[in-house]
């Protein structure tokens, strides 16, 4: 009986750890078929400041998480009665920010980018897919909260997602900020270490969820 109780307790701890490592599934998205991009009417155009804009990411596995950033190469936003826009993500800019050089940073970055030998296609394979992209397909307002819909393209796969967003304009400057939101990487064919794809991983798996937060600054064109 004691052994049964101990085993049950151990299983419960593993389950709790897995859920906590998942990052609480903040604003989980449901990837759907890509939609047509919108064009804002009577709009003011802004050009994204790539030096001041960033995407933050967090990945999870049991008992551990890692954080990092991605940079943009270009993008525009049009603000009028609604909002439209698009931007391009530089996948070669992928950086791990919670590890120090010589302490695993270079190894993890190489694995994620696919620049490590024989690991090219484990995650993002930046040699084959050097950029990702996002285009706005709509913005809705409910109970004072804005939700942005858009097509996210990763590894050549385009899916529509939605997440909470806010933006402001002061003079010639626009700032757009999303709440942290969660995507399921397997929707874009990033399957390495996924327990939902491979059933023989034991506890050596990586969570499907990736948490993202988009922080954009743009100047009037």
Q: By the 8 A CB rule, do 136 and 165 touch?
A: no
Domains and CATH numbers, the chain: 2-220 (2.40.128.110)
Tens digits of per-residue pLDDT, 162-221? 999 999 999 999 999 999 999 999 999 999 999 999 999 988 899 999 999 999 999 999
Tens digits of per-residue pLDDT, 143-174? 788 999 999 999 999 999 999 999 999 999 99
pLDDT band at 14 (very low <50, low <70, confident <90, very high): very low
pLDDT band at 9 (very low <50, low <70, confident <90, very high): very low
pTM over 0.85? The answer is yes
Q: How many CA atoms lie within 13 A of 68 on its CB side?
A: 21
């Amino acid at each position: 009986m004691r052994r049964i109780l101990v085993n049950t307790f151990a299983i419960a701890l593993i389950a709790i750890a897995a859920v906590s490592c998942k990052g609480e599934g903040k604003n989980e998205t449901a990837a759907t078929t890509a939609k047509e991009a919108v064009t804002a009417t009577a709009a003011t155009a802004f050009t994204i400041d790539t030096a001041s804009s960033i995407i933050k990411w967090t990945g999870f596995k049991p008992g551990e998480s890692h954080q990092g950033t991605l940079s943009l190469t270009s993008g525009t936003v049009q603000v009028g009665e609604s909002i439209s826009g698009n931007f391009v993500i530089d996948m070669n800019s992928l950086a791990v920010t919670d590890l120090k050089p010589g302490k695993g940073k270079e190894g993890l970055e190489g694995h994620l980018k696919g620049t490590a030998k024989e690991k090219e296609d484990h995650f993002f394979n930046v040699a084959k897919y050097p950029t990702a992209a996002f285009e706005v397909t709509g913005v809705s307002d409910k109970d004072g909260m804005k939700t942005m819909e858009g097509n996210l393209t990763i590894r050549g796969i385009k899916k529509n997602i939605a997440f909470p967003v806010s933006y402001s304009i002061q003079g010639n400057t626009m700032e757009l900020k999303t709440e942290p939101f969660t995507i399921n990487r397997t929707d874009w064919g990033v399957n390495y270490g996924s327990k939902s794809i491979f059933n023989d991983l034991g506890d050596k798996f990586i969570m499907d969820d990736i948490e993202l937060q988009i922080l954009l600054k743009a100047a009037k064109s």
